[in-house]
Structure 1
Amino acid sequence: MTRDARDHAPARLAVQKVALAAAAVFALIGILGFVPGVTTHYGEMTFAGHHSGAELFGVFQVSVLHNLVHLLFGLVGLVMARRLAGARVFLAGGGALYLVLWLYGFAIDRDTPVNFVPVNDADNWLHLFLGFGMLATGLLLNDDAGTGGRLDTPFDRP
């Protein structure tokens, strides 16, 4: 890359940096879920379902499907965070998705096949905080870019 190309490369905005960081963490968590030692009771991991005895960091119940979802979500986020609108959609949409997942984990009987992800109490609390955090960040973090005119400027007057 020439010096001129670097000088004209757009700087990443704060919302993009946060989205990139969040996506990278999701991808890393997805990978770590497959690492024995980081995931306790690794031999008890199932593909899906509430019978999986594996726990990431000895706390968060995981399965192969759960790890793959984290990895895929992280990879999608890395692609989306390259653009401002994508970063906002990843954070706000992902936050809304995690709030739905929190409600799901709160509402289901965890000892039934409906708990196919699987989730436990630690997962539910994490989903709640992730949901609110990502949603708020995606909606509220603003670099005055891509937001249109000032809110106090009527659209029909210059």
Structure 2
Amino acid sequence: MTTASHPAQHHHVMGLSLHNTALGLGWVFLVVGVLGFIPGITSNYGAMTFAGHESGAMLLGIFQVSILHNIVHLLFGAAGLYMARTSRMARGFLVGGGIVYLVLWIYGLVIGGDSMSAANFVPFNTADNWLHLALGVVMVALGLWLGRDAREEMKGRAM
């Protein structure tokens, strides 16, 4: 006998599934995007620019943000919520999104942390670079790990 349920919810390890991991990260990115627009949570809110290193706004007093940076978080969060719908899309969000964050980490290293260069258009600071490295590694690792377990579980069902 089989039961109908969301296909991305079946594959889990230690309470983590591709579905709930992508969904959780999607919500986190949405919340971070919203918090970036709230004065007080974002210090120097009046110094926020649309884009560029000139933005003086700091989310939680640590991470340099701009309107563009906050919009990117909102879009990334929406993508996570949408892609959590199936195992394949959730894995794509985790692995693909993780790769994007690793590329952003490398980009941040190339342009230099706290750079005043025009190439620092999002903008990034040293704290952002460390966060991008951590997010990239964790997202890729979870996508590969949970995706592997999901494939093994599907093979077991086919036998």
TM-score when scaled to structure 2? 0.85
The alpha carbon displacement at 1:137 in A equals 0.4
Residue-pair matches, total: 145
Partner residue in 2 for 1:83: 86
Specify every segment of 5 or more residues in structure 1 that has no aligned partner in the other structure, as ranges.
Answer: 1-6, 151-157
**2:64 aligned to which of 61, 64, 76:** 61
The alpha carbon displacement at 1:140 in A equals 1.0
- Maintained 8 Å contact 2:53/2:116: yes
Identity rate, percent: 54
Amino acid at match of 2:120: N
**1:10 aligned to which of 6, 13, 33:** 6
Cα-to-partner distance string for 1:78-125 (whole Å, 9 max, x where unaligned): 000111101000000000000000000000141111100000000000
Partner residue in 2 for 1:101: 104
Partner residue in 2 for 1:155: none
The alpha carbon displacement at 1:149 in A equals 3.7
Q: Which one has a bigger Cα radius of gyration?
A: 1
Distance 2:94 2:37 in 1: 25
Specify every segment of 5 or more residues in structure 2 that has no aligned partner in the other structure, as ranges.
Answer: 12-16
Amino acid at match of 2:5: A
**1:111 aligned to which of 99, 116, 121:** 116
Partner residue in 1 for 2:43: 40
Secondary structure of the 2:116 match is coil
Partner residue in 2 for 1:92: 95
Distance 1:127 1:41 in 2: 22
Which runs of 4 or more aligned residues in structure 1 lie more than 2 Å from their structure 2 counterparts after TM superposition? 7-11, 142-150
Partner residue in 2 for 1:133: 138
Amino acid at match of 1:10: H
More helix by share: 2
Secondary structure of the 1:141 match is helix
The alpha carbon displacement at 1:143 in A equals 7.3
Cα-to-partner distance string for 1:33-87 (whole Å, 9 max, x where unaligned): 0000110000000000000000000000000000000000000110001111010
TM-score when scaled to structure 1? 0.86
Partner residue in 2 for 1:124: 129
Distance 1:145 1:60 in 2: 35
- Maintained 8 Å contact 2:91/2:147: no
